[in-house]
Amino acid sequence: MHQGGDTTTRQRILDATLEALARSGPRKLSMSEVAAIAEVSRPTLYRWFPSKEALLDGFSRHELERFDVGLADAIAGLDGADRLDAVLAFVVEFQRRSSLRRVVAVEPEYVIHELSRLLPTIRERLAPSFPGTDGEVVAATVARVALSHAIVPEDDPELFLAELRNAARRPIPRRKAS
């Protein structure tokens, strides 16, 4: 298990990964470049992440952890409408500061692939925040609106928040069985 300075090393590597991804995208991502940006030796980088695929997977997991921690902090002690609004405001802020915003300009295909892969997880993380029988549908809608903003960012965070509020509060009729 890694401790103390090792955690700092891991964080530096993940921060360097973002920097390298923003420069050249994942296809051209170089382990040597990440090591140089992180100011660690290549053997140190390979001890943490034995391959480029492991590094990208670790980076994705790190971003998801940031989402989970941020969401938990945003809704701590809240319930009802306040909790719902805090979830939506968090989604807007997380999106605004998301690392993927920097990568989408360099390699949008990667971002689309990652978001497609993460959609079920994001939907699952959001679903408990939306009460009612259609909570999962609302979570899926909010997740898709948010993910579309990752690819085509909105420069007005208030408009983005209004879109999410509309998606979250709108009744969604169920189809009746024929």
Kindly write down the DSSP assignment for every residue of 79-92, as one continuous string: -HHHHHHHHHHHHH
Tell me what pLDDT residue 81 has: 86
* pTM score: 0.82
- Enumerate residues 6+ apart whose C-beta is below 8 A from 57: none
**pLDDT exceeds 70 at position 171:** no
Instruction: State the amino acid at position 86 in one-letter form.
Output: A
> Rounded to an integer, what distance in angstroms lies between the CA atom of residue 148 and that of residue 46?
34
Fold classification of 5-169 is Tetracycline Repressor; domain 2 (1.10.357)
Instruction: State the amino acid at position 149 in one-letter form.
Output: H
| Tokens 């007005």 -> residue | 156
Q: Give the CA count within 13 Å in the CB-facing half-sphere of 29.
A: 26
Q: Give the CA count within 13 Å in the CB-facing half-sphere of 103.
A: 27
- Per 3-state DSSP, what percentage of the chain is helix, strand, and coil (rounded to 5)? 75, 0, 25
Tell me what pLDDT residue 165 has: 92
Q: How much of the chain exceeds pLDDT 90, in percent?
A: 60
What are the tens digits of pLDDT across the range 29-88?
999 999 999 999 999 999 999 999 999 999 999 999 999 999 999 999 999 889 999 999
User: By the 8 A CB rule, do 68 and 125 touch?
Assistant: yes
User: Which pLDDT band, with edges at 50, 70 and 90, does 167 fall under?
Assistant: confident
Average pLDDT over residues 93-101: 85
Residue spans of the domains in the chain: they are 5-169
Tell me what pLDDT residue 2 has: 45
